[in-house]
Amino acid sequence: MTKRIKGSCTSILVGKKASIDGSTIISRNDDGHEALDPERFVVINPEDQPKHYQSVISKVKVELPDNPLRYTSIPNSILTNGIWPAAGINSENIAMSATETITTNPRVLGLDPYVDGGIGEEDLVTLVLPYIHSAKEGVERLGSLLEEYGTYEPNGIAFSDNDNVWWLETIGGHHWAAVRIPDDAYVIAPNRMNIDEFDFDSDDTLASADLKKFIEDNDLNPDTNVYNLRHIFGSSSIKDTVYNNPRAWFGQKYFTPEVEHDPMDQDLPFICHANRKISIEDVKFVLSSHYENTKYDVYGDGTEAEKTLFRPIGINRNHDVHILQIRNKVPAEIAGIHWLAFGANTFNSVVPFYANVKDTPAAYKDTDDEFNLNNMYWLSCTTALLGDTDYDLYVDFRNTFELEAMGSYRKIQHDTDIDIKKQSSTNIQKYLEDANNKLAQDSLKRQTKLLGEMVIFGSEKMKLRYNLND
């Protein structure tokens, strides 16, 4: 098998009654091992979807069904290790975010080892998203693929439609379990096994057919009266206490501040309830966060030991952040919104692209490995790098930029929604492509302006200066 490229991400899931506007939301930071790994935003039309699929990493071959659906995708620009589409929304407004690398333990791997020639992060969106018509169907299709082909890594995968949000976690080489997230709940899922208490008899759970028997036959359950999948299949390691658990803690602290937990706690809850309705801006803030207003903030006033103790959510290895929103109070033609930003999340803003299109804007589509400030990926990465050199110096520029940018994007979206509701045009996709181009141009202009303001202001603060009345 080709050397596996490892990533590490953070996911946030929001049920329709937990969101501010009745939308379902699945979102994730697509983090990688390297600081830079250029990505693109594209649409895969049915004629572009492969019929005979072969993975680059594992070499697995999968024959795919006829009549695939169109879908948005965020693939790598450099295809040495395969396509790696991070997430997308298909033409029936079904969303998928894959994947959140998770953890396991040797008891499981001794019984159901990973499969070197199986499927993995490189493959999942391509193999599943074009063929599903509901979130639950996404779980079922992926589950059947895992059982047939196996996997070479542990992952968590999110699916949503306008009514439901589902979360699936792989277990060993061939097993899996999934939970429907309650409508009034949210989830913060870092790189660990996240599902805790699991009811095999519930209509809101699915699993590989033999999973309960697998647990009982092999004495895997450390608890007496409950099936806690994190206890059974997870890691609960020292690394989790500094790398994973604190991210769940901070997100839960933000959405549910009245509930106090320790950031290292191995038993932070999976299903949570916020003290308010959750907005897109809330989700973006948490996915960009670095323990603000705590002693663990890397840009804060804590000791060096405190500031470097925990792995932040927003990190230099953010390659993209996507927030996949399926709206319920608009026509189906404009229900799917693929919010997107590239680069480290500290100095970017998400843009609400309509998913019902056949093409995407050039500034988001044409990224390659050549540095180019006309591409949003490279522009966002440059702004983040400069901002990191003196966060306190530049953060007000960032705050003003994000407030004004999000207001502008929402105005374009609002006007487009109103126009679509009024018109009877049959060429809605072309209209939405024009709206997406307008959003992309506005985003590029605003991000460029932010970078320029930071360069102009920061130049006066350079250490390489000397004044003698000149």
CB 97 within 8 Å of CB 157: yes
Q: Give the length of the chain.
A: 470
Does the bond joining 99 to the residue before it have cis omega, within 30 degrees of 0? yes
Phi, psi of 24 (to 5 degrees): -90, 150
Q: Which residue has 């295809």 as its token pair? A: 79
- Per residue, what are the HEC states of the chain? CCCCCCECCEEEEECCCCECCCCEEEEEEEEECCCCCCECCEEECHHHCCCEEECCCCCCEEECCCCCCCEEECCECCCCCCCCCCEEEECCCCEEEEEEECCCCHHHHHHCCCCCCCECCCCHHHHHHHHCCCHHHHHHHHHHHHHHHCECCCEEEEEECCCCEEEEEEECCCEEEEEECCCCCEEEECCCCCCCECCCCCCCEEECCCHHHHHHHCCCCCCCCCCEHHHHHCCCCHHHHHHHHHHHHHHHHHHCCCCCCCCCCCCCCCCECCCCCECHHHHHHHHHCCCCCCCCCCCCCCCHHHHCCCCCCCCCCEEEEEEEEECCCCCHHHCEEEEEEECCHHHCCCEEEECCCCCCCHHHHCCCCCCCCCCHHHHHHHHHHHHHHCHHHHHHHHHHHHHHHHHHHHHHHHHHHHHHHHCCCCCHHHHHHHHHHHHHHHHHHHHHHHHHHHHHHHHCCCCCCCCCCC
The catalytic site residues sit at: 9
Contacts of 304 (CB under 8 A, 6+ apart): none
CA distance 58 to 151: 9
39 bridge partner residues: 76
CA distance 439 to 454: 22
Best CA proximity match to 160, nearest among 14, 282, 30: 14
Contacts of 438 (CB under 8 A, 6+ apart): 412
